[in-house]
Structure formats: structure tokens, C-alpha cells
A and B are shown apart, each in its own frame.
Chain A
Amino acid sequence: DAKTTQPPSMDCAEGRAANLPCNHSTISGNEYVYWYRQIHSQGPQYIIHGLKNNETNEMASLIITEDRKSSTLILPHATLRDTAVYYCIVRWQGAQKLVFGQGTRLTINP
């Protein structure tokens, strides 16, 4: 699985868009980008994933650059409940495990 690099921490004001970057410069053609988050003392929660096209669901949007070497997770209107550690994971389709890095600790401030 390709390695990912994320900033260790970020802050965002409540109600604003939170943009979380992830670098994955060694990603290969059949690897997907997944995002999970972990709210304190809970199990990780799936957010979104994509291959090369931008994706959107009820929780977030995922923007993947054309060269696929980086991506951005966008929480459009962050709330206090979005405070969590966000993990960017790159994995190929048949992989049977998730390889978690250190993630980004996102703090939403009132």
C-alpha cells in the first residue's frame, strides 16, 4: 500500500469548510483513496473513497488531483461533532486490511 502524508493537526471554525489534505505521491493505478475518521474513544468511521474522479456523499467531498498524487477531503459546513482524527488511506481493491497512518487531528472551534 502506498504511503500517505497528512498534517498532524488542523483547526477550523464552526460553520466553515474544513479542507484536509493528503499526499500519496507513490499511489499506483489500481489503488483507491479512502478516508476514515475516529472520534475520541470510538471506532473509526468510514467517510468516503475514490479512485480518480471527485466524489461526494452526505458527509463530505473528496477531491483527487489529476495526477492522483494528492487529495483533499472537504467537510462543507464543519460542526463541533466533526472534531476527530481523520485518516487518509491508500489501498488496492483486493486488500484485506486498512493501513492507518497517524492521521490529522481536526479541531472545530466554536
Chain B
Amino acid sequence: KAGVTQTPRYLIKTRGQQVTLSCSPISGHRSVSWYQQTPGQGLQFLFEYFSETQRNKGNFPGRFSGRQFSNSRSEMNVSTLELGDSALYLCASSLIDMNTEAFFGQGTRLTVV
């Protein structure tokens, strides 16, 4: 079966712009989580969605937001981009919640210039 698909794979944006990243989970998976990975902070949890509802949120400013659609696909948005937002953004999906095995996508590499 197809894995977790994240688009785009690479993105370059300018400070102050906004960006939307997309994640298509594995078919049948209803939980989608987002993580940010930077060399300095490592992998950090952003938020988790289940059945179109955000159930958990990490410690990130309000510029980071997300949503999940009825088909479980998810998007995350970052507004007013800062240089420090440059990172690998990873999406993970699982059947119900992270209690079951989580499958990660390849990530979207965002560079803010």
C-alpha cells in the first residue's frame, strides 16, 4: 500500500510569506501528526489531528496551524515566515492514535530566505 505522502518535498520561501504543506496519510489511517526537525532542536511535535479535530498541540506559536479534512488528508500552514522556521517538516499517520505504529512521510524541506 502507498505510504505517507508529503508535498512538496522542497520549498523556498521569503521571510514574511506564508506556506502550506500537505500530507496524505496511509489509506484507512485517521490520525495525522506533524513534527518539525531542526539541527538545533531535533524532532519536535507540532500538532495531532483525528477525525478533523485537533487533539493535541505542541509548544509552537500561533503562526503554526493545521487542519484535517474528511478524507484524513492534512495541511499545515505557517504564516509570517521567519528564518528560524527553516526545517524539515514531517507528517506521521497511524490508524487511531500514536499508540499504534506511526508511519512517517519523507518530509518537506522548507528553507526561508
> Could you tell me the dominant secondary structure of chain B's interface residues?
strand
Separation of A91 and B105 alpha carbons in the complex (Å): 21
Do A95 and B90 have beta carbons less than 8 Å apart?
Answer: no
Cβ contacts A74-96/B at 8 Å (1 or 0 each): 00000000000001000101111
Q: How far is the CA of A93 from the CA of B55 in the complex (A)?
A: 15
Q: Is the CB of A97 within 8 A of B42?
A: no
Q: For chain A, what secondary structure do more than half of its interface residues adopt (helix, strand, loop), or is it mixed?
A: loop
* Residues of the B chain whose Cβ atoms lie less than 8 Å from the Cβ of A102: 42
Q: A95 touching B98 by the CB < 8 A rule? A: yes
CA distance A32 to B50 in the complex (A): 22
A98 shortest CB reach to chain B, Å: 6
The size of the chain A interface, using a CB distance under 8 A, is 20
Pick 17 A–B contacts, CB within 8 A, sort by A: A43-B90, A44-B90, A44-B104, A45-B104, A46-B102, A46-B103, A93-B99, A96-B97, A97-B45, A97-B98, A98-B33, A98-B35, A98-B45, A98-B92, A100-B35, A100-B43, A103-B42
Chain A residues proximal to chain B, CB less than 8 Å: 41-46, 49, 87, 91, 93-103
Chain B residues within 8 Å of A, Cβ to Cβ: 4, 31, 33, 35, 42-45, 48, 50, 55-56, 58, 88, 90, 92, 97-99, 101-107
Beyond contacts A97-B56, A100-B35: 15 other A-B pairs, Cβ-Cβ < 8 A, are A42-B107, A43-B4, A44-B92, A91-B98, A94-B97, A96-B31, A96-B48, A96-B97, A97-B48, A98-B43, A98-B92, A98-B98, A100-B42, A102-B42, A103-B42
